[in-house]
Amino acid sequence: MSLDGVHYICDIWETRQTGSLQADGRPRGARLLARRGVRQDRLVDLTLAGLDAAGLRNGPACTEFEHTAHGPVQVAPSAGICATDEPLLTRAAIGEGQADWTVFAYLAPEWFRLRAARPYRQLRHAAWVALPTPASGSARFRSLMRELKALESYRGAVVGGAPPVTRVQFLHADEQTVERDYVAALSSVEGYGEEPWTSAG
């Protein structure tokens, strides 16, 4: 979120897949990273430079990176709140998200400028995994969801996108619990594969 060229990093997510992307090229999962770290600081520096170069001095924006053999390559930043359920999951983990910071910028600009210097702090840890949503009843889908719901940090599921995808969310105060469940969920989703998801049963 930016206000007159003052930028605040609301959240940093790392996408990951176990062996392949989804059939439509989208990642299979992501986890919320701590604000500080060698990688995070590097990505933030690149993000801020990209926002300035694009002239995005006010309002929310999202930036994506592709990791290559030569390091992270920034995809052009896009203006607007990230169009996923991540902002809501971020709020659950941090206590505030991109929408909150948008309100802060417009209703309390001086407070925004003061707070922008302080990095976000995770109250809880978060991750999500994505799986194809069947058009009709699917025994395989129900079996997989039962498996994911049994994980300790399971929070819920959100359906959206085109084609529709079910994003299963994980949230817990213990980082290792979320990381363990996230890895297990990715493995389970990969094991179920992409087809067939639409057969009734």
pLDDT digits (tens, 9 = 90+) for 65-114: 888 888 888 877 888 887 666 778 999 999 999 999 999 999 999 999 99
The pLDDT of residue 201: 40
Residue with tokens 């969920």: 185
Q: Is a pLDDT exceeding 80 seen at residue 192?
A: no
Nearest to 8 by CA among 102, 126, 147: 102
Strands 61-68 and 154-160: unpaired
The pLDDT of residue 199: 44
**Mean pLDDT calculated for residue range 153-175:** 90
Q: Is a pLDDT exceeding 80 seen at residue 196?
A: no
The pLDDT of residue 131: 85
Interacting residues of 189 by C-beta distance below 8 A, sequence separation 6+:
18, 28, 29, 129, 130, 131, 144
How confident is the model over 16-35, as pLDDT tens digits? 755 555 555 456 899 999 99
| Contact between residue 132 and residue 37 where contact means Cβ atoms under 8 Å apart | no
pLDDT over 70, % of the chain: 87
Number of H helices, E strands in the chain: 6, 9
**Mean pLDDT calculated for residue range 126-136:** 83
Which residues on adjacent β-strands are paired with residue 1? none
Tell which wins on pLDDT, 45 or 193. Answer: 45
Interacting residues of 152 by C-beta distance below 8 A, sequence separation 6+:
172, 177, 181
